[in-house]
A and B are shown apart, each in its own frame.
Chain A
Amino acid sequence: MSHLSDIKLKIWRQAGPDEGGRFESYLVPSISDEASFLEMLDVLNEQLINEGREAVVFDHDCREGICGTCSLMIDGQAHGPQRGTATCQLHMRKFQSGAEIVIEPWRASAFPIIKDLMVDRSAFDRIVESGGFITAETGGAPDANLIPIPKPVADASMDAAACIGCGACVAACPNGAANLFTAAKVAHLSLLPQGQPERYKRVEAMVETMDEYFGSCTNHGECEAACPKEISIDVIALMHQDYRKSKFANRKTLSRS
């Protein structure tokens, strides 16, 4: 175990949604290279409280890369420099002593800033509420092994279902689009046999709710690069394909295909 020294931080501080924000500079004199990035912020916050100042607000919870609560643009990259890694799993061994690190909140019009580095991502929930589910009310489900699902299909569905809903795709997108998030959910459900009955209704509702809040996709591919779960933009093609079908074909016929 060794220590990094003199980490210089430039952090976005903003008192509330309607307040102006600014960068403030802080110094973390020493931190273990075994510490995670968020533990480095914990150390900073302890320092600030000791000085009688208000701690930096940031969202975080599981610190295992699965809950999707953490965010942060670190030096302009969503979730920082390590590919396929959420901020909470980023460790200080990826940085050098004396590093200057710029930390900002997700920047997207659909994610208004609540305070400092914390943003409101509820627009994601609205998309899921509009159709991101398979209607299967409790009770009455058939035996789990009734419908065999080929392993490659189940695996492809799982690849898409791995999305943690963190919003990095939106933050990384120059258009602030949520296509990767929405398409991951569409693909997760539409690849499965259980997802077929609502396949076209689902994609239509979700895409249109998405469009109410988020920008449009122009195939930059930044979302895939930023995704901590490395979800492929192939899912976006799937979503577009289904959305087009949902608009042009007869639903009664489609649902049987």
Chain B
Amino acid sequence: MSTTTLAGSEKLQSKAPAVAVPEMWETFKSDMKLVNPNNKRKFKIIVVGTGLAGASAAATLAELGYQVDAFTFHDSPRRAHSIAAQGGINGAKNYKGDGDSVHRLFYDTIKGGDFRARESNVHRLAEVSVDIIDQMVAQGVPFAREYGGLLDNRSFGGAQVSRTFYARGQTGQQLLIGAYQQMARQIGLGNVRLWNRSELVDTVTIDGRCAGIVTRDLVTGEVMSHAAHAVVLCTGGYGNVFFLSTNAMNCNVTAAWRAHRNGAFFANPCYTQIHPTCIPQADDTQSKLTLMSESLRNDGRVWVPKEIGDERSPADIPEGDRDYYLERLYPSFGNLAPRDISSRTAKRAVDKGQGVGPLKNGVYLDFSAAIARLGYDTVWERYSNLFEMYERITGENPTKVPMRIYPASHYTMGGLWVDYELMTTVPGLYAAGEANFSDHGANRLGASALMQGLSDGYFVLPYTIGNYLAPLLNKPTPGVDHPEFKAAETAARQRYQGYLDIKGTRSPDHFHRELGKIIWDYCGMERTEQGLEKALSELPALYDEFQKDLRVTGNGESTNQTLEKAGRVDDFFQLGMLMCRDALERKESCGGHFRSEYQDDEGEALRDDENFAHVAAWEWTGDPMQSTRNVEPLDFTTVHLATRSYK
């Protein structure tokens, strides 16, 4: 395996303007190349994925005058998984007058990410966060308001100010519907062409530039090429590699992975976020886990019985026998400690035998103190939809019995490496939203995913993409009859026919479960060298079985969800190997990447800034076990590297 150097790869130039961090974005906008409004229609841009990043990018690019083709594998663009985000979106508006500012949001995000994100990108994110709120209100997002009619805010983990805007517990839904409607308007106007139930199965690079994509129609099985001047992947994260996660069932890594195989470097795959407040697994047939918004920690208190194996019902456990461990360990942040810390402490409590519930696999999140302080009605109004959802799933009413929660895979900070302009290492191929790696370092703060998706799509890409396109004006680009497109189509057809032809004995779901178990056990909340090596010996063997013993029933000429799943699981296997390799090579603990060997006496993550203050971006070589690790050093000129403390 390669050794780490801080020299930095030539291929990984962030291209951020050479000025002080707070001036970079203004400088970039002043210096970037422009495409004349009348020339924009000569450029075609493909946007893959229609979540917050994709829908907002497609809408804005079309408004500017570009021809846009938007692709989604869903039946409607409004189904994208951004819709499931509950808690809120950050914006440095300082409407509460509690000391918030662009700098503070920038600082909180860098610190929350455990100093593993690029300052330039994060500062820009904090800057445009303000515009996002204005934009969404103008579009008719019904954010929560106070009685005077002004916008309400709440606080989220890792922040000491209230800067989170929300729409009940359905913020993601409302923001996505907002972005979807802007895109729908452009579809109606004929500026965006929508391809629904259409899945990206390959990207095509010709003469060193991204030339387009190959898709598979999920209704007819037809494989088809689409050429464009630029391609934007807004295809989300890879959290479903764990099988059980809070991601929607169809979330997958295929688009990003296919791009990776065609030259786009994949950065920090080991940075995965385990969300502390999910409903614990109830049985073996469980297909996914359900998140309970972090906003609940504003009013809920986390505790476990002090005594190991305490069988009493929570109401019978007196205050003195309860351990409110977050309040005890992190007095200044308390129940709002960041996600990685909250998750690890919950795991430790359960591992010690203090877990609660029938399977002893959860901790309590208790609202009785908030109900006593604020009254039932206030607490109910804040969280009613979450309480109802919890009751539908568990059969218990959380205003009467404390909620049971446990961490689950939720978000992936890693993703395609992008430069300051959100371009991958393949010219003309961009990645935005959760699909890229750029803004959250090793841990994402709550209410920042929605912010990043909309930032990338509304306020970053529409500027940066022109900088790439301007010099291409009136230059010929390869069409779909180019042999490279034809070759990619043939390969895709063979790939999907290949799954049908194996005719083995086990379903894609069977393999996915097995894969997920390995990744969760060895590359989940706590990782060790020994465990990762074990995973790296088991994964290729299981992958080999997958390739020989997969069973996909049905055919390739009509809707076949088993076949779709087979392709996605295939890519998850390869990604899983890369994740474990990345986790093994990163010999430090930071954010969501916790290596047991690297912790201090109190069990806190021990970073190694001397050797690992860098992005690891992997280059495909034909085998995920042999990918090459490249390094982009991270410079901290505005924020001082410090040990993250939330005590």
Contacts and interface: CB of A to CB of B under 8 A. Distances in A.
Interface stretch (B169-177, B440-448, B620-628): B169-177
A128 B59 CA distance: 14
A63 B249 CA distance: 8
Interface of A: 1, 15-16, 31-32, 34-36, 38-40, 42-43, 45-46, 48-50, 52-55, 57, 59-69, 82, 84-85, 89-91, 93, 114-115, 118, 120-122, 124-125, 128-139, 141-145, 148-151, 154-155, 157-158, 161-162, 164-165, 188-189, 192, 194-195
A136 B138 contact: yes
A1 B77 contact: no
29 contacts: A32-B285, A36-B287, A39-B287, A50-B507, A52-B553, A54-B554, A61-B79, A61-B250, A62-B249, A68-B78, A69-B74, A91-B393, A115-B559, A125-B76, A125-B78, A129-B188, A133-B140, A133-B182, A134-B138, A135-B185, A136-B138, A138-B63, A144-B93, A144-B134, A145-B93, A145-B151, A150-B149, A158-B168, A161-B177
Contacts of B507: 46, 49-50
A253 to B, nearest CB: 23
3 A-B pairs with the lowest CB-CB distances in the bound complex, closest first: A148-B149, A129-B188, A133-B181
Contact of B196 (A118, A122, A155): A122
Given A67-B79, A134-B181, A149-B149, A144 B137 contact: yes
A161 B142 contact: yes
B12 interface: no
Contacts of B174: 158, 161
B287 A62 contact: no
Interface in B368-415: 388-389, 392-393, 395
B285 A35 contact: yes
Contacts of A67: 78-81, 83-84, 248
Contacts of A34: 282-283, 286
B79 A85 contact: no
Given A42-B509, A62-B83, A64-B389, A148 B148 contact: yes
Interface string B139-159: 110111111111100000000
Interface in B111-157: 131, 133-140, 142-151
A144 B551 CA distance: 54
Given A39-B286, A137-B63, 10 more contacts: A34-B283, A46-B507, A46-B509, A115-B219, A121-B76, A132-B184, A148-B145, A149-B145, A150-B145, A162-B170
A148 B146 CA distance: 9
B133 to A, nearest CB: 5
A1 B358 contact: yes
Contacts of A50: 505, 507
B79 A125 contact: no
A141 B134 contact: yes
Contacts of A138: 56, 59-60, 63, 135, 182, 458-459, 462
Interface in B404-453: none
A136 B135 contact: yes
B251 to A, nearest CB: 8
Contacts of A57: 559-561
Contacts of B170: 66, 162
B127 to A, nearest CB: 14
B577 interface: no
Nearest to A136: B138
A254 to B, nearest CB: 19
Contacts of A49: 507, 551, 553, 562
B290 interface: yes
Contacts of B194: 125
B22 to A, nearest CB: 21
B138 A129 contact: no
A16 B557 CA distance: 10
User: Which has the most chain A C-beta neighbours within 10 Å: B136, B177, B389, B562?
Assistant: B177
B139 A136 contact: yes
Contacts of A121: 75-76
Given A49-B551, A115-B559, A63 B509 contact: no
Contact of A133 (B75, B184, B560): B184
A54 to B, nearest CB: 4
Contacts of B286: 34-35, 39
B510 interface: yes
Nearest to B143: A154
A115 B137 contact: no
Interface in B240-296: 248-250, 282-288, 290-291
B231 interface: no
Given A35-B283, A46-B509, A61-B249, A66 B559 contact: no
B167 interface: yes
Contacts of B196: 122, 125
B558 interface: yes
Contacts of A188: 140, 142
Contacts of B135: 136, 138-139, 141
A180 B184 CA distance: 19
B282 A1 contact: yes
Nearest to B91: A144
A54 B558 CA distance: 12
User: Which has the most chain B C-beta neighbours within 10 Å: A60, A64, A120, A145?
Assistant: A64
A134 B177 CA distance: 11
Nearest to B553: A54
Contacts of A31: 285
B223 interface: no
Nearest to A121: B75
Contacts of B553: 48-49, 52-55
Given A52-B553, A64-B290, A145-B95, A154 B509 contact: no
Contacts of A114: 219, 559
B306 to A, nearest CB: 27
A150 B145 CA distance: 8
B187 interface: yes
A161 B150 CA distance: 19
A82 B562 CA distance: 29
B74 A61 contact: yes
A164 B388 CA distance: 16
